[in-house]
Chain A
Amino acid sequence: MSLILSELRLRRASLIVWTVSIALLVLMIVGVYPSIRDNTSLNAIYGDLSQSAQQLLGGSDLTSPVGYLSTQLFAFFLPAVILVFVLGRCAATIAGEEEDRTLDLLLAQPLARPAAYLEKAAAIAIGLLVVTLSVVIPLLAFNSAVKFDLPVADVSAVVVQMYLFCLALGVWTQAICAAFGRRGVGLGIVVGYIVVSYLVYGLSASIPLLMHLRPLSLWRWFLGNDPLQNGFGAAECLVLVVTIAVGLGAGVWLFGRRNLHA
C-alpha cells in the first residue's frame, strides 16, 4: 500500500498535467459539436470510404452524437493519446527505474518483489482511472448542453471498455519491459501489436481472411460491440479483464525470477 502512495506521489505533477490536458482536449472536441451537428454534408466525406476505412475511422456518420464521438474520440484519437500516457508509465515504472539505476535502492527495502510489482501496477491503474475520469466528466457535464443526450450507461460503457483496453496494453507493456529490464523492448513489442491489431480490426471488415484473426485484436474487444451504441459487452469486458489478469501474472513471474541489472 505504501508503495502505491509513493508511486502516486512521485508522479503526481505529470498526472495533473495529463489529466488537465485530456480534459481540455475532450472539452474542445465536445465544444465543436454544436457547430457541425446540422451539417449533414460532412457525412459524405466518410460515406465514400471503403467499409474497412470506415471501421478504422469509427464509422461514416459524423453528425449524430454517437457517430461524432466515435469518429472524433473513441475510434482512435483518444485511446491513442491515453495509450501514450499509460504505456510511458508502464515502461518507466520498473524497466525505466532499472535503466536509471534507481531500482536497487527501492527494492533493497523489505518489499517482496511480487508485491512491489503489483503495487506499481496498481498505482498506474489509479493514475489511468484519474485520466479516464477527465474524459467522462466533461462528456457527461455537457451531455445535454451540446445535445448529445446520450444515456449515461452507454457513455460509461465505452469509457470503461477503453479503460480496460488501455490498462490491458499497459499491463503487458510493464510485464515485457520488466522481463527484460529494458524500456525499449516492451514498448517496441506493444506499440507494434497496437498498430498491427488496429489494422487487423479495421481491415477485417472487408478482408474475410482477417476475420479469423480479429479475436486476437484487443481493439475488437474494446469497440467490437459498439459500446457507445449498445452499452456494456459482457464478453468484451471479460476478455479484457482476463487479459489484464494474465498480464499481471506473467509480469510477476517474469520479474520475480530475474537478476536485476546493476
Chain B
Amino acid sequence: MRQITVKHPYARIVSGDQFAVQAARLTKTYGKQRGILDVDLDVTRGEVLGLVGANGSGKTTFMRTLLDLIRPTSGTLNVFGHSSTRESVAVRKLCTYLPGDFVVPSRLTGYQILRRYSFARDNVRATDIDALAQRLDVDLSRRVGDLSKGNKQKVALVLAFAPRAELIVLDEPTSGLDPILQRIFAELVNESVANGATVLLSSHVMSEVEQIAHRVALLRNGSIAIVDDVAALLARSRRRAHVRPRVAADLSVIANGLADVPNVMEVSESDGIVTFACQGSVDPILKLLARFEIEQFDLMHADLEDAFFANEGDSSGQVGTTP
C-alpha cells in the first residue's frame, strides 16, 4: 500500500483516505449527449491516473462531474472523502483544473488570466508563478490573444501547476505542446506527485498517457472498459520487431527459429526482412539472433492500445486479437 504523506496547505480538510478520487456507479446522462454509465473508479492518493478514450467517450464528463460543473444522474463521486455535490467547494479547494479547450478572454494578459482564474485560491504564490513561467518560457505580460496555441497552453499549465493543489485534473493537457514542452510537462507531473499531489489526466492518444501515468483507465462509450497498471499492461502488450540478417540464406533459418520461440507470433519474411510480434521477455529472441550476423534489428515501442485490446480479447475468448 502506498504510504500516505500530507505536505500540502490543505492538510486540514484532506481526510486520511487512501483514495484521492472514488467514483461508485457514477452515471451522468443528459439530453442526447452521451455521458458516463456506472463508472467505478478509484484513484489512489499520489498516483497519476490516465483516462483514455476516444472523443465523446466520457473523459471530460467525468472530470466536470468531479468539479460539480455538472451533476451526476446517479452514483457518487468523492474527492479525498468529500462529496463532489454536497461539498463541492471543499473539493475544488483541493483541485486545479485544466479544461480540454482552454478558452479565456483574449484581451487579458497572462498575469490577468492567472488573477482572474485563481483569485479564490489561497495556495498560489507569485514566486511559483514566475518560476513556472520562466521554466516554460512564456511571457505572462503579453495578451493571451497575441500568443500562439502552444504559448496559450503554457499559460494553462501555469494555471494548473502553480497552485499547490492536492489533485490536479488535466483534460487533454498536452495538446498543442511541442516535444520539448511535453517533456517539461512530464517533469511537472512527476514533481507534483513527488510533492504529494495526485494527478488525473485524460487523452485520446494512449502513447501520451503511457509515458506519464502509473495506471490507465480506458473509457469506451461512457463506461470503464479496463483499468490497469501501465507496467502490467506493457508486460502484456505485444511489440513488433524487424530483423535483417546480413546473409540472405539465414532468413528462413531465423524465421523458423523464431516461430519455435513460445512468446513469438505472426512471423513472416519478405524483402530480406523477418517480421514478427513478441510478448514479455525478449531474452530468448536475442539469444537466438546472437547466432547470426544481423545487419538491422528494430524492436517497436510497446503500445498500450494493443495491450488494452488484447485484454478485451481475453474477456471475449479472442486472445491476442488486434483491431
Contact = CB atoms under 8 A, between A and B. Distances in A.
Interface stretch (A41-49, A98-106, A209-217): A98-106
Interface stretch (A2-10, A140-148, A171-179, A198-206): A2-10
Interface in B114-131: 115-121
A112 interface: yes
Contacts of A109: 92, 117-121
A6 B113 CA distance: 11
A2 B120 contact: yes
A230 to B, nearest CB: 45
Contact of A111 (B89, B96, B115): B89
Nearest to B113: A105
Given A3-B119, A6-B119, A105-B99, A110 B104 contact: no
A235 interface: no
B103 interface: yes
A32 interface: no
Interface stretch (B66-74, B134-142, B253-261, B292-300): B66-74
B105 interface: yes
Interface string B88-108: 111011011101011111001
State which size class the interface on A falls in. Answer: 20 to 34
Contact of A105 (B88, B89, B117): B117
30 contacts: A2-B119, A2-B120, A3-B120, A6-B115, A6-B116, A6-B119, A10-B105, A100-B103, A100-B105, A101-B99, A102-B103, A102-B105, A104-B97, A105-B99, A105-B104, A105-B159, A106-B116, A106-B117, A107-B69, A108-B67, A108-B69, A109-B118, A109-B120, A111-B89, A112-B89, A257-B71, A259-B70, A259-B71, A260-B64, A262-B60
Interface of B: 30, 60, 64, 67, 69-71, 88-90, 92-93, 95-97, 99, 101-105, 108, 115-121, 159
